[in-house]
A and B are shown apart, each in its own frame.
Chain A
């Protein structure tokens, strides 16, 4: 063995990822009620409050926009906090990595699970909005997929942040300096065109905004080639952060 020979990477095995997913699925059976409750009640209250603003059906705008924020909240946050707790306090990842699972597979399995949850929970605001007057369309069938794709990126983002963090306090910087501005510049509650030019530019490179636009274009059947670019951007976002998340967790988990 050379002095710095690396542990084998770059080979994803389905049984290893399945094992990670099974662990998450079995765990989910113990907390799905609380998780589903919080994901449902919040948009319901929100929807009932903002379904009409100034006499206009604001629900169409916000009901679709909040899909993206629901995806963000059900992916980036659980990924950050959950990952940190699992490696720092519960030592769950030590147990998993003692089995035939590598960090790459661990991160991939965790991200897929979180993205799947985000894809499902992301639909809740839209379903609530339907009850408050949003018209049905076939494009709504694409929303879980869009939520999954965006959720994958945000899950990788959260895992990456947890991998670089040394304490819970570090997350405050990320929430205040990254997630909150991205949330405000996503075009969820008001169109980006109403913002200053610099904010519009930032909004265009914001993956959350791409998710908002994709959802709206799908729900209102306005899909065009631009949406392919948006989807490609989300794929790129997920892929880049996936590799960085693996690198960050490898540093954290392998001495």
Chain B
């Protein structure tokens, strides 16, 4: 890791009519790190991603990607970025290889290196046996792997992953995490938006929690948990009336709480003497998110 920034946002604002999708966002992504944008649907994650490829133009603020000022020099920045979109936009009537061939041209890979680049991408996505199959014959997981391979065909310095595992079953998600993890260990800079806590916790060096277009907390997942939710949480189960009582008592004791259906979580209990009886568990990033934003997350 270095102090050099692959992405630098300062006060980025993006409005759609009366809606402010990104609201004064600051974001630093150091070279060689994996940063997770964590937030619920509508938090502004995808808009932030679009700002970084100049497919959305900021109304205010400064954006730099790989040292290139956006939107003016976005094309130079995009040449060194790989983008994995949230929604599948592969050419479904083309084969795996043909999709990669098209993007090897779009990313201007020299003719002499094209074949090798496609081969590398096919192997990386583990699609060797399906290379001549049309995309509409592939499973959802294979298509997602191909999307990642397509984004990496030109060996980008920066990869933008917009909800890379959304809608996939747990097994496929694990496969993709291994793929992203391998990329990360090779030193590629990654910015990944997600609304999966586990994904952010597992893959990201640092996490920016977003809510309503703003960054509400930023740091390594473990530090965020420790800072905002302490080490341990007590879960108290009971009927609604009892939970309401516990909530009041916790508030009076200066403790923060989180309602989770049939229980209430009391945060930061490790630092306080307290009278609460319940199940102890380690605090996690989800506690932090709900605490800071008031929104539940998957």
| Chain A residues near B78 (CB-CB < 8 A) | 98-100
- The answer to whether B108 and A7 touch across the interface, beta carbons within 8 angstroms, is no
B74 located at the interface, meaning its Cβ lies under 8 Å from any Cβ of chain A in the complex = yes
| Chain A residues near B60 (CB-CB < 8 A) | 3
| Chain A residues near B57 (CB-CB < 8 A) | 4-7, 254-255
- The answer to whether B94 and A22 touch across the interface, beta carbons within 8 angstroms, is no
- Per the CB 8 Å criterion, the residue count for chain A at the interface is 34
Q: What interface size band does chain B fall in?
A: 35 or more
- The answer to whether A8 and B72 touch across the interface, beta carbons within 8 angstroms, is yes
B85 located at the interface, meaning its Cβ lies under 8 Å from any Cβ of chain A in the complex = yes
Residues of chain A from 150 to 198 with CB closer than 8 A to chain B in the complex: none
| Chain A residues near B16 (CB-CB < 8 A) | 255
| Chain A residues near B59 (CB-CB < 8 A) | 3-4
Determine the distance from Cα of A15 to Cα of B72 in the docked complex, in whole angstroms.
19
Given A26-B94, A27-B91, A30-B93, answer yes or no on A100-B85 (Cβ-Cβ < 8 Å).
Answer: no
B105 located at the interface, meaning its Cβ lies under 8 Å from any Cβ of chain A in the complex = yes
Residues of chain B from 149 to 170 with CB closer than 8 A to chain A in the complex: 150
Residues of chain A from 70 to 121 with CB closer than 8 A to chain B in the complex: 90-92, 94-102
Given A3-B60, A19-B102, A26-B94, answer yes or no on A8-B73 (Cβ-Cβ < 8 Å).
Answer: yes
Q: Tell me the smallest distance from the CB of B152 to a CB of chain A, in Å.
A: 13
- The answer to whether B55 and A254 touch across the interface, beta carbons within 8 angstroms, is yes
Q: Which residues of B contact A (CB under 8 A)?
A: 14, 16, 47, 50, 53-63, 69-76, 78-79, 81, 83, 85, 87-94, 98, 101-103, 105-108, 150
The 5 closest A-B pairs by CB, nearest first: A19-B106, A255-B56, A91-B89, A98-B83, A99-B106
Q: Which residues of A contact B (CB under 8 A)?
A: 1, 3-8, 13, 15-16, 18-20, 22-23, 26-27, 30-31, 90-92, 94-102, 253-255
